[in-house]
Structure formats: structure tokens, C-alpha cells
Homo-oligomer: A and B are copies of this chain.
């Protein structure tokens, strides 16, 4: 494209009420401040490089708490504190091993990651026949006679036909979460599952699974999409193929960790709280940059921006870095339970936990009346390309606030095309994040926090 386009000035005042014009001026200041001066990307780089991944209970998570506390202070918050949270402590142990062994005993190593919460294999590993399964219906049909003693290979590819990749994740994800117990029901000795991603590459994508306590707990792991395709191909030609899996992950005693919280106190209604942020923990590979370092640095960027612009919120705004979203949501639970205990009035919560791509809306998990009020604000956001208020998901860390206090929830909605390329994999690094896209998310959150702080809900 050669032409110098004039795309300026569109939407400038379309659909705004008179009362919204002054908010429109504030929006403009917020977006300019963030697009030009935001620190979120620099903070995320530090969180990615100097801290790295940070699974709950790990040394990385401990380091992350300290760094985040410092970052929150640097942002100029009125108060910064740590909130104690007991978190589960699952460790991967030594690097896992996996091999495809054909009927001639040729072994081919494939990249593998134990699923979070999995039990270990016996020390010498498990070698067993493999049976490929597309879904639970097929698993049931095969039954114990075909499954007993085998490794079940859940090969349920992402359904590419959905525009929103979360829809594909929703369909495939249950084989990661519930697949191991369902396979154990028919006597399987382990499960491997195809990674939850659109891309064909060599990265296994881990993630939490949940055992059904009434069934035997069997080891479970993810293999990359390339390895899944390879295994499926080999199985078709050689049904006697075996799989070797060795993992020594384990769940240790719970340990003390923290949510990190920064607050600007409201000028008129200091006892009404708006929480914004994401989760500080990540899986134990890569940088946890999209998931969810992004949400953490966007949350604190809200505070920095209020201070930089000398915006005085009528209600108190808290940036929160919740601990342990990935395998327990203990941070979110403690945050809400503590608020309940203290009878705090949490009037809204905003979470960013869908990656750092360009934002285009907010999911609204709240009453119809509240949703309609928020939709009246939509024209203020349109010129910033934030237009969609039709989804209804808030966020995992803020759900307990709704459950215990009835707090209305906002989930930042961003372009989903690239998210699962990196999600829960070693490839989720800060290199995969575009600075401006990250900052646009922070700006949308700041703008929404501003309206909530002025008008409540």
C-alpha cells in the first residue's frame, strides 16, 4: 500500500450524548497517554525475562510476587499489599519422556508435557498399546474390552471452522480435562492428548486436568500436534504400535503464596471497589506472557495512567495480580472470601485473560439491567474499535466475586486468532506480543475503569 490515507476523524462524535462529551475527552487522554507512555510492555518484558514462568508454589512464582509488588509501587499506587493465599504445589519433576514404538521395536521420541495435576508413571515408565479416540462417544463404544491395559490417545483436533478460537478450545478441551478419568473408567493405564491449538508444530501444550475421585488416577500428558499427526498415521499402518511414557510429576503439600494488590483510593466513595487485572501464575514453560502476564501488566497500567493523568476516581480502583488461576483459582477465591468477610462493596471487576491481541469488546457477566447500562457507554468506545458487548464471560479469577458478592464482571475480549498458537506452551514468550496491541487492551480497561469509578453501575 503506497497511498497516504486519511482515515482520521471518523466516528469522532457519532452517537454520543451531551453528557458523554466530557467522558469522550477523558477517553482521548487515556488512549494517548497509554499509546505513547505506557510501561506495560516494559514491565511484561521484565516479568518474562527476569522472572520467567511461575507456576503456583514454584520459585518463579515467589520471585514474581516480589517483582510485582515492586512494579505496583513504581506505578504510583496509593497502597500496595500482599494477600496471603495457600496454593496447590504440583511439580513436573525431571523432563518427561515419550516414544512411539512400532511393531519392529523402532522407537521415535516425541515432545511431551505432563498435564497439570497428573500423577507420575511408575519409575520405569509405562509401555502399552495405544488406542486412538476422537471423542467420549467413541470411547464408550470401544468399552473396556478394547481399552483395558492400553494408553488412550485423545486425538480431537481443533475445529477450525469457528471464527472464535475459544469455541474450538471449548470443544477439544474436555478431552484434556476429563479424558484421563473417562479413560480410566474402562481400564486405560494412561492417556495422551493432542495439544489444544490451531497450529501444526512441535510444542506440546499443557494445562490443568481434573480427576474424578471415584476412578483410578492414571498419568496423562499432552503431545504436540505434529506428534499427534505422526502417531495417528503410524497407527493406521501399524495397529500394534506401542507408546512409552515416563513422568515423575507429583503434588506436594500446599504452600503459602500471595495475591498482589495496588489501590488508588476513591475520593467520594472510597468503600466501593473496582478490581482490574489478571493472574500472576502461569504454566511452567515459556514466559506465560500471553497467559497471563499481559493481564497483570495491563491491570497495573490502569493505576499508572490514572496517576499520570491526575484522574481522581470517585470510587477506589484496585489492580490485582491473582495467584493460582491455572490449577486451583485459590487467589480468586481468597480475594472474594476476604471481601465477604470484611463486608466490602465490590461494584465491578475487570479481568484480562485471553491474551494480548487487539481488544474489540468486553464480555458482560451481570444482570440484564447492568448490561444495558454498560451498553449505553458503547458509543464512547467505538472510535477505539472496541464495539462488542455481547459475550457473557467475565473471568476465572473474578468469578468468586460474583458468586459471593454478586459483583458484575467484565472480561476483556481480544482477537483470538493467535492465542492458542502459544497457549500453555514453551512458545508463549514475550516475543509473541505486539506492544501496541497489549497497550490497547490496557487503554480499554482504563477507560472502562474510569466510567465505573465515576458512575458506578
Q: Which residues of A contact B (CB under 8 A)?
A: 1-8, 10-11, 14, 31-32, 35-36, 160-167, 169-170, 173-174, 177, 198, 207-208, 291-292, 325-327, 329, 353-355, 358, 360, 363, 383-385, 387-388, 390-391, 393, 396, 415, 417-418, 421, 423, 434-437, 440
Contact = CB atoms under 8 A, between A and B. Distances in A.
Contacts of A207: 2
29 contacts: A1-B325, A2-B207, A2-B208, A2-B396, A3-B393, A4-B170, A4-B174, A4-B177, A5-B169, A5-B170, A5-B393, A6-B393, A7-B167, A7-B170, A7-B393, A8-B164, A8-B167, A10-B390, A14-B390, A35-B161, A35-B163, A36-B161, A163-B383, A164-B385, A358-B417, A415-B415, A417-B434, A417-B437, A418-B437
Contacts of A418: 434, 437
A358 B36 contact: no
Contacts of A415: 358, 415
Contacts of A396: 1-3
Residue in A166, A170, A358, A417 whose Cβ sees the most chain B Cβ within 10 Å: A417
This chain's copy number in the assembly: 2
B198 A436 contact: yes
Contacts of A325: 1-2
Residue in A3, A36, A358, A421 whose Cβ sees the most chain B Cβ within 10 Å: A3
Interface of A, helix, strand, loop or mixed by DSSP: loop
Contacts of A165: 436
B385 A388 contact: yes
Given A2-B208, A358-B415, A164 B423 contact: no
B35 A164 contact: no
B35 A423 contact: no
Given A1-B291, A1-B353, A174-B4, A388 B390 contact: no
A2 to B, nearest CB: 5
B10 A391 contact: yes
Contacts of A173: 4
Contacts of A10: 390-391
Given A3-B396, A170-B8, A415-B358, A387 B384 contact: no
A131 B421 CA distance: 46
A174 B3 CA distance: 10
Contacts of A35: 160-163
A434 B31 CA distance: 27
Given A11-B390, A385-B360, A417-B434, A440 B4 contact: no
Contacts of A291: 1
